Amino acid sequence: MIHKISQFFQKIRKRTLLWICAALCSVALLTAAVDNSFELVKNLDIFYSVVKELDAFYVDEINPGKLIPKAIDEMLSSLDPYTNFIPESKIEDLRFMTTGSYGGIGALIGKKSDRAVVTEPYEGLPAQKAGIKAGDIILKIDDFDTKGKDIESVSEKLKGLQGTPVKIMVERVGHSKPLTFTVVRENIHISSVPYYTMYPDNIGYIQFNNFTQNCTKEVSQAIDSLVKAGATSLILDLRGNPGGLLDEAISICNLFIPKGQLIVSTKGKMKQWNRDYLTMREPQWPKIPIVVMVNRSSASASEIVAGALQDLDRGVIVGSRTFGKGLVQATRPLSYNAQLKLTTAKYYIPSGRCIQALDYSHRNEDGSVGTIPDSLISEFKTKNGRKVYDGGGILPDVIVEIGKMSRIASELYVQNHIFDFATQYAATHPTITSPEKFTISDLEYQEFIRFMSGREFKYELESSAKLKKLIESLKEEKYLDKVTEEINLLSKKMEQNLQSDLMTFKDEIIRLLNQEIISRYYYQKGRIQYLLRNDPELDSALNILRTHERYKSILAGTK
C-alpha cells in the first residue's frame, strides 16, 4: 500500500514542491517567518524520503501504522509531556478525561502475570452489582482470551454501548473452578466528588478528584448539602487532583469569588490564546471560610483554584507545594479523525505569577528539564499585600511536612504483595468492622509476614544503590583497598533482612494493608474514610478553621 502511495507522490512531488516554493517566495515579501517555513517543508520532504526508502529497501516489511505514529510521538515528546498525538482509536480515552463518562462495566483493571486483574470495581456500578470483586483474574471476555493481552486490549473489550451485555469469566481465590458473570454495560460516570462529610465545629469537608464537565455542579451540590446540615466553614481537598477543564476551574472559583474578578490569564504565541478569564456570576458562598488542601500531585486546574483563592486572599492553602503545571492545552482536528493535543499558552494567576515549574523550551545538554533557579524567582503580592512567589506551583500558606514512605513499604505496594494479601484476606473474612474502626491485629500481621516468606520479593534501599556506586568509584580511582574494611562493615550493617524490615516499618505497612482490605468491603468511600483517620494535613486544616483569629491573621499576613 505504501509503495502505491509512494508512486503517486513521486508523480506530483516536483510540481507540489515548486508550488510550495513559489508560495513561500510570495509570502517572503510579507513576513519574516519564511526561513522557518522553508525548514518545515524541507524536513517534511526529507521525512517522506526516509519512509519511501525504508518501504522500498528495508530488509523486512515495515508497518507504517506503527512506525510513523512512533515517530510522531518521539517528536512531540521532545516538546513537553502534554503535547500528544491522539489517533482515532484513543478518542474515547480523551472524551473520558474531559467528561468523566464512558460506556462500560465500571471497574479498574491492572496486570497480574500474563492476565488482567480487577483492581477495583466501583460501588453501585455494573461490575460490582453483578458480583465481580477486586482480585478477580479475568480469563475471558465473551470469546476473547485475555492470556498475554495488554491492558489496553482488555479494557477495549470491556467497554461498549450502554445496555449491551458482556460475559466475563474470572478466576477467584477460594474457588477451584472459574466463575462466569454476565454484566450489562452502562454509561459510566465517575463522580468528581467521591466523598464529603461533616466534622465537629460545623466544618464541612469535600474531596474533589478532577475537573471534568459539570464537576462544578457536583461540588456545589456537596457544599449545599453540608451548609444545609449546618456547615459554617469548608475544607476543599484537592490533593491528588490532576486538573482538567479550565472553564470548570473558573466556575469553582466563582462559587466563592465575586462577579467580574480576574481568576487566570493565558498568554501564548498567537493572539487568539491571549485571554483573561473572569468570574461571570455572583457567588453562592461569598463569605464562608475556606481551607484548600494541596500536595505535590495537585496540578493544572487545581493550581488555578488554589492559586486564585490565595492571591485574592479568599482562602487559606494547606499542605505541600503543588506540581507546577502552568501550560494550557488545546485540541486540533487532524485527518482520519485523529486529534493533536498541544500546548498553546501559559497560565498566570491574579497576582501575575506563572505556576509553571519546568522550562521545556530550554533543556539541559543531556535533554533533561531543569526547574527555575532561585535567582530568577520573583516576588508578587496578594490582594491584601502578602508576599507570594513564582518559580513553579503554589506554595501553601501553611506547610505540613509529610514523611517519605519507606522503600520496603512502597515496593510491597508496587509489586502487588499488599493487594494479593488483601484478596486472600477478603476470601476468608466475610465481613469487617467500619472503616473508622478497622485495623488488622498483631496476629493478622504475623499472617502477612508468613505470607511474604513464601513469595519472591526483591527490593533495594536507595542508600544501598548509592553505596554500590561509591564502591565502583573507589575502584576506578584505586582507593578501594584503603577503605575495604570500613566498606565491608558498612555493607554488613546495611544488609537487608526482610523479617527485620517488616517489623521496623510495621506501622507503614499496616496502614497500606488496612486501606486495601477496607476497599474490598467499603470500596472507594471506605478507603477515603480510613485515610482521613490519621491525616496531619487534615488536622492542620481543621485547627485553622477552629481558630477563627488564626484564619483571619493568615489571610491578613499578620500570622
Catalytic residues: 300, 311, 325
In this structure, are residues 516 and 418 in contact, taking their beta carbons and an 8 Å threshold? Answer: yes
* Beta-sheet pairing, 290-294 with 339-348: unpaired
As a whole number of angstroms, the distance between CA 134 and CA 426 comes to 9
Contact 45, 303 (CB under 8 A): no
Q: Measured between alpha carbons, how far is 160 from 389 in angstroms, rounded to an integer?
A: 47
Residues in the chain: 559
3-state secondary structure of 154: helix
Q: Please count the CA atoms within 13 angstroms of the CA of 333 that sit on its side-chain side.
A: 3
Spatial separation of the C-alpha atoms in residues 228 and 461, rounded to whole Å: 51
Cβ count near 260 (within 10 Å): 10
CB contact burial 66-105 (16+ within 10 A = b; e otherwise): eeeeeeeeeebeeebeebbbbeeeeeeeeebeeebebbbb
In 10 A of CB 468, how many CB atoms?
A: 12
Angle CA 162–164–167, to nearest 5: 130
Lookup result for grid cell 483517620? 533
Buried-state track 519-532, b at ≥16 Cβ within 10 A, e below 16? bbbbbbbbbbbbbb
* CA 432 to centroid of chain Cα atoms: 31
Q: Which residues does 88 contact at the CB level (< 8 Å), separation at least 6?
A: 336, 337, 338
